[in-house]
């Protein structure tokens, strides 16, 4: 799509912000004067990449331009005298924004001068002293000419101001406001008012000119060659500035670079059909790179810290903002904090015992509360080799007399180096007596049970009310779980939790945590 500049778009002043009641905000634009031509002036945008599959979103991209007082030499102009040397017709060959005429060796016929009746006239004072005026006229479209500038200007009369003003004549240079012409007529006249002008003969050796040089047919071209903004004809901003907005084309160009796995360096070209100069501000650009992880990323929490298994790899760059839909479903089981040990967060220098085929019994302390039925019991450690454990609960008299309260539970544990809780499920178990101890042995393999100094045990109990227990991500609380089911759309997460490594969730509640439609934003 090409946005064509309208006939008069110069309604924007240098202060683009509006004054509001009691608070005036002014944007100060800093312009540089640059060359512009058919090869184009580059508008370059460079963003730092993120090491991930990102997309670009541009919130603002614009710059301002305005015309400048550039000039070009016209060289010697074609001119000829008519009407007994009273009219000098100058032709330019094409529409020209005329600024100055240098009339070399101009002389006016006075009939009394020594030089064949001609006298040199090179300044305004010389004209005035002879009661003369230098007049520039332009074609009127009917075969005649209309005076538009006069040096010196015509005087006031009655209540009317002077006319044909705005020009000067000095050192043989006739300077006028920029005027678009393809032909002009010069006269030297007597008398003060246009209706009384009487041309007199004059002559000169040659005439040269200077034109205002404005960019023509300027356009902004995207990296793919598409014209996204254009201003037909000469660009004259009349001392005001014009804003060029290229937000959407820039966003498309940035995403093209990302899709092609290229550096995010794009260049637009501001082109003019002629060689000229223009004033321009640096582009004002803001936006973001964003990285979306679509779908649902589910984590089942069983009372200890677990990394979120994200569908995509995270970038080593720290995002400026992280949002995701957060859904938490509490499963009605929680860690009994007052009776449970914490899982150590280290792997070296850990004390413990190796469980083998001989059962080891250990009494609970503090005793379990009958207010919360036991759902699961776990021991903390790791399996040097894959193993099967039998865990029983019951009562312990003395050091060795263990009486089971129910049949034992067999659990299988894969070998690994990370400490974790090996859970035995007692949810559907009827107890013949209230347990105060457990007995554990390895049916096969070996298990390293951590001690500090007593063996570390964890208890999970039935509790229908989560009671606002926290949900953490990398140790930062992100939610107090007050209800059994919670959904928070576009929830904000800690930035550092989504840098390079997958975030780690933890809670004392057994719950299902879904992170969906994750979006990581990197400001640019």
- Nearest partner of 445 among 386, 397, 504, judged by Cα: 386
**Residue 351 tokens, joined:** 């004390």
Using CA atoms of 444, 448, 450, 454 in order, give the dihedral in degrees to the nearest 10. Answer: 60
pLDDT tens series, the chain, 524 aa = 444 443 333 333 333 333 333 444 456 789 999 999 999 999 999 999 887 778 999 999 999 999 988 899 999 999 999 999 999 999 999 999 999 999 999 999 987 766 678 999 999 999 999 999 999 999 999 999 999 999 999 998 877 787 899 999 999 999 999 999 999 999 999 999 999 999 999 999 999 999 999 999 999 999 999 999 999 998 988 778 999 999 999 999 999 999 999 999 999 999 999 999 999 999 999 999 998 998 999 999 998 899 999 888 888 999 999 999 999 999 999 999 999 999 987 666 789 999 999 999 999 887 787 888 899 999 999 999 999 999 999 999 987 889 999 999 999 999 998 899 999 999 988 888 889 999 999 999 999 999 999 999 999 999 999 999 999 999 999 999 999 999 999 999 999 999 999 999 999 999 999 999 999 999 99
Alpha-carbon distances of 205 from 73, 81, 83, 201, 275, rounded to whole Å: 18, 12, 18, 14, 30
Q: The CATH number of 290-334+465-523 is which of 1.10.10, 2.60.120, 1.10.3470, 3.30.460?
A: 2.60.120
Question: Which residue do the tokens 């005649």 mark?
Answer: 144
Give the closest residue to 308 by CA, choosing from 299, 316, 319.
299
The CATH class of the 342-455 domain is: mainly beta
How many CB atoms neighbour CB 212 within 10 A? 22
Is 128:138 a contact under the CB 8 Å cutoff?
A: no
Q: What SS3 state is found at 497?
A: helix
Running DSSP on this structure, what letter comes out for residue 157?
Answer: B
The rounded distance, in Å, linking the Cα atoms of 513 and 164 is: 83
What is the distance between the alpha carbons of residues 289 and 251, in angstroms, rounded to a whole number?
A: 10
d(CA 314, CA 466): 32
Residue 32, strand partner residues: 280
Helix count and strand count (H, E) for the chain: 2, 39
Q: Model-level pTM?
A: 0.72
The domain over range 72-212 is classified in CATH as 2.60.40: no
């Amino acid at each position: 799509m090409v946005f064509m500049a309208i006939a008069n778009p110069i309604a924007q002043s240098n202060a683009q912000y509006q004054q509001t009641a009691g608070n005036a905000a002014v944007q100060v634009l800093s312009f540089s004067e640059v060359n512009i031509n058919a090869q184009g002036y580059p508008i370059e945008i460079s963003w730092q990449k993120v090491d991930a599959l990102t997309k670009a979103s541009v919130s603002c991209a614009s710059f301002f331009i305005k015309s400048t007082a550039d000039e070009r030499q016209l060289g010697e102009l074609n001119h000829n005298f008519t009407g007994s040397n009273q009219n000098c017709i100058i032709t330019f060959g094409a529409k020209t924004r005329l600024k100055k005429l240098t009339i070399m060796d101009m002389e006016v016929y006075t009939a009394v001068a020594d030089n064949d009746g001609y006298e040199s006239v090179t300044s305004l004072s010389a004209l005035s002293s002879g009661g003369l005026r230098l007049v520039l006229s332009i074609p009127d479209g009917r075969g005649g000419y209309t005076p538009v500038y006069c040096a010196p200007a015509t005087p006031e009369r009655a209540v009317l101001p002077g006319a044909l003003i705005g020009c000067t004549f000095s050192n043989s240079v006739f300077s006028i406001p920029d005027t678009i012409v393809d032909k002009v007529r010069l006269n030297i006249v007597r008398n003060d008012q246009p209706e009384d002008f009487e041309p007199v003969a004059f002559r000169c050796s040659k005439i040269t000119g200077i034109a205002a040089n404005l960019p023509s047919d300027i356009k902004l071209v995207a990296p793919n060659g598409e014209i996204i903004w254009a201003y037909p004809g000469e660009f004259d901003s009349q001392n005001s500035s014009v804003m060029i907005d290229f937000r959407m084309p820039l966003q498309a160009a940035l995403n093209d670079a990302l899709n092609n796995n290229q550096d995010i360096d794009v260049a637009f070209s501001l082109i003019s059909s002629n060689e000229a100069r223009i004033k321009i501000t640096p582009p004002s650009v803001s936006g973001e790179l964003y990285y979306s992880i679509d779908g649902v990323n589910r984590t089942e929490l069983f009372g200890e810290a677990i990394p979120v298994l994200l569908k995509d790899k995270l970038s080593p760059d720290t995002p400026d903002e992280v949002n995701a839909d957060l859904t938490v479903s509490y499963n009605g089981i929680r860690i009994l904090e007052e009776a449970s040990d914490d899982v150590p967060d280290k792997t070296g220098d850990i004390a413990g015992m190796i469980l083998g085929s001989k059962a080891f019994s250990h009494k609970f302390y503090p005793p379990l509360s009958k207010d919360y039925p036991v759902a699961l019991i776990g021991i903390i450690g790791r399996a040097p080799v894959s193993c099967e454990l039998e865990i029983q609960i019951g009562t312990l008299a003395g050091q060795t007399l263990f009486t089971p309260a129910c049949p034992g539970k067999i659990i299988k544990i894969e070998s690994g180096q990370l400490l974790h809780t090996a859970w035995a499920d007692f949810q559907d178990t009827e107890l013949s007596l209230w347990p105060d101890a457990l007995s554990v042995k390895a049916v096969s393999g070996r298990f390293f049970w951590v001690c500090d100094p007593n063996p570390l045990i964890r208890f999970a109990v039935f509790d229908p009310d989560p009671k606002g227990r926290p949900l953490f991500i990398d140790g930062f609380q992100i939610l107090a779980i007050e209800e059994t089911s919670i959904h928070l759309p576009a929830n904000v997460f800690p930035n550092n939790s989504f840098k390079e490594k997958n975030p780690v969730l933890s809670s004392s509640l057994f719950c299902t945590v879904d992170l969906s439609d994750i979006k990581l934003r990197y400001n640019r």
